[in-house]
Structure 1
Amino acid sequence: MRTFSLRAWLLAVGLGASCTTLADEPLPSSVADLRYGVTLYEYYQSNYFGALSELMVAEARGGIQGHSDNPELIAGSIGLAFGMEQRAGDVFTRLLDASRPQAVRDTAWFYLGKLQYQQGDWAGARQSFEQVSADIDQRLTHELAVMRLQILLRNDDFKEARALYEAADNPEQWGELANYNLGVALGREGDAVAAQTYLNRVVSTPLRVNPEQQKIQRALRDRAYTASGYVHIQQGEYDKAVAQFQKVRLSGPYSDRALLGLGWAYASKQDWPNALSPWQKLANGSLQQASVLESLMAVPWAYEQLGADVDALAAYEGAEQVFMGELQKVEAIRQQLSQQLLLNSIRQSDTRGNQSWFALDLDQALQPEVAFLGEVFARNDFQTRVQAIRDLLFLQSTLADWQQKLGIYADLLVQRGQVRTEKLARMNEQGKLQQEAALRDEKSRLAAWLFSVEKNRDYLALLTDEDAIDNLEIVDGALENLAALNEDDDYEEELRQLNFYRGILLWNAQESFSANLWEQKRSLQLLDKELENLASNQMSLQKAIDEAPEILPYQQRMGLLDQRIAAESVALEQQLASEEAALRAQLDQALNDHKVRVKNYLARARLSIARLYDERLKQ
């Protein structure tokens, strides 16, 4: 099963270099690369797909800077959690280079061994774990020890397993699962005393506060009580076996084996009435459980021991009908496998929550064939295949979303190009890009005029008093009129007065000339500054126009991405079809195996029926 957590490791390495312990320096409170922070955020939101995608994008764009080997370790670890075993193995193998820090190599060996452990390569996992130094971060030592212990148990190396267990500074650190595995293994070996010791440690551990942890603890307790009961049966301690079986919760997931064992414990004492009770209760369970199949045959057998042959015959015939109905159900499901029942059953689970295991929709679970598939899928050997299909369905949905977004982006690019073209056309039409040159020409003309005025001391050119200008125009007009009159007439006095008034006006203009000249020069200076600002703005505008990204390359890139997504979608469809075919074959084999088991029990039931009828005929 692909259950996995990175939290312990993330806390171990912090956000910086992974070569110091928390006692040496505090955890960093910031990240050096934003993409690394985004990756951690996505991970802690349980969005492993997003976290891995962020790392892969960062890798394509030059990698994450400032965090040593941590990004690679996270990439490999998330890949391992997400089922990308080949990618995870490649990453961890690359991190084993001698140039890497010892802490990094230890972590890589640990996760490489864990990958091999999950793949069932016990020898390879053991070799990898042996490469881990004693300086590995303490947060990983417990899980490492548990996996080492489990490998020893799988290799039937019980002596070394017990030595490893007892070598721990605090035996309580092993936890309930390690105690349970060791107890069950020793029980199968016949070491009942040692087995009971470890199983008792499972049930004596105080319940934790966390509800989820409590749920796991209670399930392990049920399994430990059940295993302990069977060990007692092996030792002929039937009363103790009954006591252990009765501690198992009837509402728990492991009550079937406990009920079966409880019946056999009573049967071993020849207490047939009490043996019947748990077996009859168990007979109503799912026939995919071997204990239920066995109970259907155990009930009539117990009736026979009580001498109730009529009840025994009825129970055998009832079991026969149940077995025949189960065979019909198996055949019906097999026929429907070609009608998309398989994928539809998986699609009924929420593919958006792609991090969790397969869970049937409650409404659909009411359908018998789907409920049957759900029980099959819940088995460990189906989990990996089912989760792979769910991941592929999630990726298929993601690609469809991306393809839709690409269409939207393409439309946005077209609209952006149209808006840019329209703006440039309006600017060219209004001549905004040529305004600065025309204004500079006008400014040069004004400067030349002012220079001429100053040089020629043209007082009247800078005259700004409107009354004075009007009076000067009147005087000049009068002088022109006098000049046009008959020369014989005497206008000398009028001419003298007009020239006098004109002189006064010229005097006043001369008095204000310097101030007016300074004001005009100041205006030219301000105009120079405004022209400089205009030139700067036009340069910025021209630069923005020149350096603005071209739409065409983006459109070409969008086209390539669209083709790539289309190709990936085709490959995804092919892989989905391949995984579905493999799952169908696996399910078909499981159905065949189940059918064979049911047929065997059906044959036993019919033989028992025939035997009872034969005995009655002989009477």
Structure 2
Amino acid sequence: MPRIASCLRYCLWPSLLLAGWAQADEPLKTAVADLRYGVALYHYYQQDYVSAIAELMVADSRDGIQGHSDNPELIAGGISLAFGMQNHAESVFNQILQDERRPQSVRDAAWFYLGKLHYTRGDWAAANQAFNRVSAGFSPGLRAQLQALQINILIRNENFSQLTPKQIEQQELGSWSPYSLFNLGAAHARLGKFDQAQPFFNALADMDETGDIRRRKIHWAMQDKAYTALGYAYLAEKKYAAAIREFTKVRLEGSYANQALLGYGWAAVAQEEYTKALQPWQLLRSRSLMYPAVQESLLALPYAYEKLNAQGEAVAAYEQAEELLAREIQLIRDMRATLTEGELLTLIDSKPLPAKEAQAALQTTGDGVTAVITDDGQNWLKLDSTSIIKTRSAYLSELFAQSRFQTAVLELRDLLRLQRLLQAWQPKLQAYRDLLQEKQALRGRQERQLAQSAFAAQTRALQARRDEFAARLEQITAADDYLALADEETRELQARVTRAGETIARMQAAGQATDELAQRHKMFAGILIWRAAQHYPIALAAQQRELAQIDSTLAAAQKTLANIDEITATSLDIQPLLARLLALQTETAGRLQATDELIAAQTRLLREQVDQQLASHELRLKNYLSQAHLAVARLYDAELRRQPE
């Protein structure tokens, strides 16, 4: 593939963003043992991380999740860390580490994420201390990331001089190795130690990537970056031929081609090979003027013409530069006027596009301010591999590539989502309140109808029958009236004995002899009383149970009436709900107002960042334009001086 350029004149520090969480090693499960864990996993794999962490936190506030070892805690800590909930993540990991009974794999994961937490806070000592607590048996993929972060800590602490490319290769950093090599080379270059930076850039340039096409493209871009960095390192050491050799290795279609073309030209100028410098600079001038290297070439090209004593070509090139720079300055001013807070908010709140559609949308547009929101970067856990907002504009690409800007965009999208949620709940809460008020009114109407129904009359009738039954039973008990509770057969015999007694009485009144009959009547009457007395306790208990059942039924009916009266009179079950709904409406309105204010502040912050970025480009273009004006004036003045008076 054609090559020639790849990195900026100054070696940049690529940020290593946090990757998503990884579970500790554990036997594979084919089913979930706890429904709440299953729900959390469902939300997690749907990329609905807010619902996932909410499910885990709700479960934790109750009785926890059973049957899944330490996985739920690691998930909760990892998601919390990815979402910037650093305090909660730290408490989760510290809680895991305080339990010495935890498996080593779990403790390793906790130490790793706790170290990353300190790393994001810039506490390099605490981060390194946590990383050093991770055992040698930690997951190889994450251990490679851990070692890359440790190398970055050494760079931050300016304690990296002892590291060599060979040591980096021996650490088996995997896909992190190119970044570590470049970071170390860039660190030496920033200190002006270009001879020590070159071995790292050479090691990166010599690496061979045989992975998938995506990894190969990333590797080629890193190699282009290394070639360009080597070129500028040689340029700083005045090794111009070596610099040109490295610049020519950069791919022409690569993202660093412009910087390499510019450096190639300056290396040629340093050797006074001005014709050779014209070739890359003429190619640069044909490219989009958005790129700083192209802008610089507008002044570098006529400078080379001047060195070749081609004054006419130099004046023409300077004047063309004036025209192009003035047009570009106006373009940036139009962009600054166009990118208002409302326009940014509309863009950020727009529907995200799949990666392929986003790429196609950016490729089919010009080099203006077009930007898109992608769905492959719409969650916090993917910030290490992609961006949520992308643009073709070189004026904004540097700003958009910054993690703080992407984080601000994510925060704004979360706020917009929360705003929509609160706005959706406002009419729902009002609808619920209207329903409860209608229910209260309906209950009042039903109570009035109930008061006119037969239920109360039936309750009063039951009360009257109960009182009558209780009074009769009390009389029987007080008089020990055994026969009153006798069985049916005994009562029939008692009736016959009573009739016999009446017959004996009539016979006595007629003067008949009844001594023997009276004696037998008295004996049968005594037998009946004895028989009734034997059955009396059983019958009395049965009557008392029946009375108790009647009392229970009556009490239930009276309680129902009392509850109806109380509820309809005071609406005890509705009034608390109405009060709670009112409180929720007030809270929702307050939270919505606070969210609106945060959205306005966040949008204003993003607008300021965008405007400052464009303003810096405008200032640079103005400087170039001023230099072009002065150069044209200088050449015209020199020409006038050469003419005879």
TM-score (norm 2): 0.65
- For residue 5 of structure 1, what is the aligned residue in structure 2? 19
| Structure 1 residues 63 and 288, CA gap change in structure 2 (3 angstroms) | farther
| 96-105 or 147-156, larger mean C-alpha shift | 96-105
CA deviations over 1:258-289 (Å, ceiling 9, x no partner): 33233334444544445334333434556564
CA deviations over 1:574-604 (Å, ceiling 9, x no partner): 2223323333443444344334333332332
Amino acid at match of 1:609: V
CA deviations over 1:167-207 (Å, ceiling 9, x no partner): 845465643322333344455522255224322244x2224
Aligned with residue 157 of structure 2, among 147, 155, 158: 155
- For residue 627 of structure 2, what is the aligned residue in structure 1? 604
Superposed counterparts of 1:382-401, under 5 Å? 382-401=405-424
User: In 1, Cα distance between the equivalents of 2:242 and 2:457?
Assistant: 103
| Structure 1 residues 195 and 162, CA gap change in structure 2 (3 angstroms) | closer
User: In 1, Cα distance between the equivalents of 2:338 and 2:76?
Assistant: 40
| Structure 1 residues 316 and 67, CA gap change in structure 2 (3 angstroms) | same
Q: Work out which structure has the larger RCO, using CA pairs closer than 8 Å and 6 or more positions apart in sequence.
A: 2
Amino acid at match of 2:84: G
Amino acid at match of 1:6: G
Deviation at 1:145, TM superposition (A): 0.5
Amino acid at match of 1:583: L
User: In 2, Cα distance between the equivalents of 1:66 and 1:82?
Assistant: 26
CA deviations over 1:282-322 (Å, ceiling 9, x no partner): 34556564323322221212222333222222222222333
Amino acid at match of 2:400: A
Amino acid at match of 2:344: S
**In the alignment, is the contact (CA less than 8 A) between 1:3 and 1:81 conserved in 2?**
no
Is 1:558 the counterpart of 2:581? The answer is: yes
Is 1:195 the counterpart of 2:200? The answer is: yes
| 78-87 or 299-308, larger mean C-alpha shift | 78-87
**In the alignment, is the contact (CA less than 8 A) between 2:182 and 2:201 conserved in 1?**
no
| Structure 1 residues 96 and 309, CA gap change in structure 2 (3 angstroms) | farther
**In the alignment, is the contact (CA less than 8 A) between 2:39 and 2:52 conserved in 1?**
yes
Q: Name the % identity.
A: 39
CA deviations over 1:100-137 (Å, ceiling 9, x no partner): 73554443332233233334443443343234444544
Amino acid at match of 1:309: Q
- For residue 524 of structure 1, what is the aligned residue in structure 2? none
Deviation at 1:44, TM superposition (A): 2.1
**In the alignment, is the contact (CA less than 8 A) between 1:149 and 1:165 conserved in 2?**
no
User: In 2, Cα distance between the equivalents of 1:113 and 1:286?
Assistant: 43
Superposed counterparts of 1:19-168, under 5 Å? 21-22=25-26, 26-59=27-60, 61=62, 63-67=64-68, 69-93=70-94, 95-97=96-98, 101=102, 103-162=105-164, 165-166=167-168, 168=170
- For residue 261 of structure 1, what is the aligned residue in structure 2? 263
- For residue 400 of structure 2, what is the aligned residue in structure 1? 378
- For residue 613 of structure 1, what is the aligned residue in structure 2? 636
- For residue 326 of structure 2, what is the aligned residue in structure 1? 324
Amino acid at match of 1:198: A
**In the alignment, is the contact (CA less than 8 A) between 1:199 and 1:228 conserved in 2?**
no
- For residue 469 of structure 1, what is the aligned residue in structure 2? none
Task: State the SS of the aligned residue for 1:6.
Answer: coil
User: In 2, Cα distance between the equivalents of 1:149 and 1:553?
Assistant: 60
Task: State the SS of the aligned residue for 1:348.
Answer: helix
- For residue 313 of structure 2, what is the aligned residue in structure 1? 311
Amino acid at match of 1:391: D
**In the alignment, is the contact (CA less than 8 A) between 1:183 and 1:196 conserved in 2?**
yes
Amino acid at match of 1:572: T
| Structure 1 residues 120 and 186, CA gap change in structure 2 (3 angstroms) | same
User: In 1, Cα distance between the equivalents of 2:612 and 2:84?
Assistant: 24
Superposed counterparts of 1:177-576, under 5 Å? 177-186=179-188, 189-190=193-194, 191=196, 193-202=198-207, 204-208=208-212, 211=214, 213-234=215-236, 241-242=243-244, 244-283=246-285, 289-334=291-336, 341-350=340-349, 362=361, 368=368, 374-375=396-397, 377-380=399-402, 382-410=405-433, 550-576=573-599
**In the alignment, is the contact (CA less than 8 A) between 1:377 and 1:386 conserved in 2?**
no
| Structure 1 residues 69 and 255, CA gap change in structure 2 (3 angstroms) | same
User: In 2, Cα distance between the equivalents of 1:2 and 1:561?
Assistant: 42
| 259-268 or 362-371, larger mean C-alpha shift | 362-371
Q: How many residues align?
A: 514
User: In 2, Cα distance between the equivalents of 1:187 and 1:194?
Assistant: 11
**In the alignment, is the contact (CA less than 8 A) between 2:265 and 2:280 conserved in 1?**
yes
| 428-437 or 598-607, larger mean C-alpha shift | 428-437
Amino acid at match of 2:318: Y
Q: Could you say what the CA RMSD is over the residues aligned between the two structures, in angstroms? A: 4.8
Unaligned runs of 5+ in 1: 13-20, 442-450, 457-534
User: In 1, Cα distance between the equivalents of 2:332 and 2:274?
Assistant: 33
- For residue 500 of structure 1, what is the aligned residue in structure 2? none
| Structure 1 residues 405 and 610, CA gap change in structure 2 (3 angstroms) | same
Deviation at 1:141, TM superposition (A): 1.0
Unaligned runs of 5+ in 2: 1-14, 372-392, 466-486, 493-552
Deviation at 1:144, TM superposition (A): 0.5
User: In 1, Cα distance between the equivalents of 2:124 and 2:160?
Assistant: 15
**In the alignment, is the contact (CA less than 8 A) between 2:344 and 2:607 conserved in 1?**
no
CA deviations over 1:412-464 (Å, ceiling 9, x no partner): 6567778888999999999799999999x9xxxxxxxxx989x99xxxxxxxx
**In the alignment, is the contact (CA less than 8 A) between 1:242 and 1:262 conserved in 2?**
yes
| Structure 1 residues 583 and 172, CA gap change in structure 2 (3 angstroms) | closer
Amino acid at match of 2:210: P
Deviation at 1:243, TM superposition (A): 5.2
Amino acid at match of 1:54: E
Deviation at 1:78, TM superposition (A): 1.6
CA deviations over 1:139-184 (Å, ceiling 9, x no partner): 4211101111122233333334438944845465643322333344
**In the alignment, is the contact (CA less than 8 A) between 1:413 and 1:555 conserved in 2?**
yes
User: In 2, Cα distance between the equivalents of 1:362 and 1:295?
Assistant: 29
Amino acid at match of 1:28: K
Amino acid at match of 2:413: R
Task: State the SS of the aligned residue for 2:164.
Answer: helix
Deviation at 1:608, TM superposition (A): 1.9
**In the alignment, is the contact (CA less than 8 A) between 1:186 and 1:192 conserved in 2?**
yes
Task: State the SS of the aligned residue for 1:27.
Answer: coil
User: In 1, Cα distance between the equivalents of 2:283 and 2:434?
Assistant: 65
Amino acid at match of 1:195: F
User: In 2, Cα distance between the equivalents of 1:421 and 1:160?
Assistant: 86
**In the alignment, is the contact (CA less than 8 A) between 1:186 and 1:194 conserved in 2?**
no
User: In 2, Cα distance between the equivalents of 1:332 and 1:596?
Assistant: 15
CA deviations over 1:299-358 (Å, ceiling 9, x no partner): 212222333222222222222333334444455555566xxx1342243145565999xx
Deviation at 1:29, TM superposition (A): 2.6
- For residue 600 of structure 2, what is the aligned residue in structure 1? 577
Is 1:586 the counterpart of 2:587? The answer is: no
User: In 1, Cα distance between the equivalents of 2:254 and 2:442?
Assistant: 66
| Structure 1 residues 84 and 433, CA gap change in structure 2 (3 angstroms) | farther
Amino acid at match of 2:346: R
